[in-house]
Amino acid sequence: MTTVLAACLTVFGAGAASVLVALVAQRVLPPAVRHDLGASGGMVALVAVGAFVLSVGAMMTYTWLDLGRAGRSTFAEAGALDDLYWYSHVVGGADGVRLRTEIRDYTTEVVRAEWPAMNAGGGLGDRGWRLVNLIRYDMELLQPKPGGEAERYQEALESAERLVRARRDRATVAADRVPGLMWAAVVACGLLVAALPIVRGNPRTAVRAVLAFVVASTIAFVLFLLYHLDEPFGGSVQVPPTAFQATWDGYGDIDALWARKRP
């Protein structure tokens, strides 16, 4: 089922259910009760709508910050890999070849294994952690010569540390979810707002049904959107592995540059 189809079913299903409840309430609630609710429920309606808007705003802020954090960690991680791949050619020899192989293996693991797992709601795999630790370990074992090579080595060590930090940040965001209490507040306020046109709407049946459908379908759409924003690597609005794919494509260009014979 596509996301668009799921959204349509959710919105229209919620609207249809609200219309059905409104028609039942029209028959069950006495006219005097409906009149009293309509005359004295203004303050309740104001409080309910205000609480719903505030809770939705708080959740949108939470999810949007997570989405931004996911994007930053992804680009930082891919950038660190690019820097380390450049440095692997500076190292040269067997150490450079081993480092390039590990970087390529790690990039492949992230794109082909970890991203589908995160897309399905999972976390980062153990193999990825072993590979990133191996990269950092081999970097620590290098013995650069004094001078410019040592300065480049310090920069490469910082890139290795940045790679590990960015991966940890990505792991945290992948596992992070909106707190249940926040979800409960949004859903409860949404139900209360959806009930307003049902119990205190227009006395005419057709108008009451239309109002109930519009309010319920709108709230359902907002909740559907929030649900998909809650997974930065797996929802409809997600961070793709574009940065890692671009880094992988650049490995060949870096190899070609270093393979050119210098005059």
Name the residue with tokens 């192989």: 101
138 and 13 in one domain?
no
202 and 104 in one domain?
no
191 and 250 in one domain?
no
**Is 43 within the bounds of a domain?**
yes
**DSSP secondary structure of 194-212:** HHHHHHHS-SSHHHHHHHH
Closest Cα to residue 89, out of 101, 72, 80?
Answer: 101
**Is 73 within the bounds of a domain?**
no
CA-based max dimension of the chain = 96
104 and 86 in one domain?
yes
**Is 213 within the bounds of a domain?**
yes
**Is 232 within the bounds of a domain?**
no
What pTM was estimated for this model as a whole? Answer: 0.81
* Burial letters 61-79, b for 16+ CB under 10 A, else e: ebbeebbebbbebbbbbbb
125 and 212 in one domain?
no
Token pair recorded at residue 113 = 């294994």
Query: For residue 139, which amino acid is it?
Result: M
**Is 231 within the bounds of a domain?**
no
The number of domains in the chain is 2
Q: Residue 22 is part of which domain span?
A: 1-63+186-218
254 and 131 in one domain?
yes
Q: pLDDT by residue for the chain (263 residues), tens digit each? A: 577 787 788 888 888 888 888 777 777 766 666 665 555 556 777 888 888 899 999 999 988 898 899 999 999 999 999 999 999 988 878 888 999 999 999 999 999 999 999 988 888 889 999 999 999 999 988 887 776 667 788 899 999 999 999 999 999 998 888 888 889 999 998 888 888 777 765 567 777 788 888 888 999 999 988 888 888 888 777 889 999 999 999 999 998 888 875 54
**Is 243 within the bounds of a domain?**
yes
Angle at 49 (CA atoms; ends 48, 55), nearest 5 degrees: 90
129 and 40 in one domain?
no
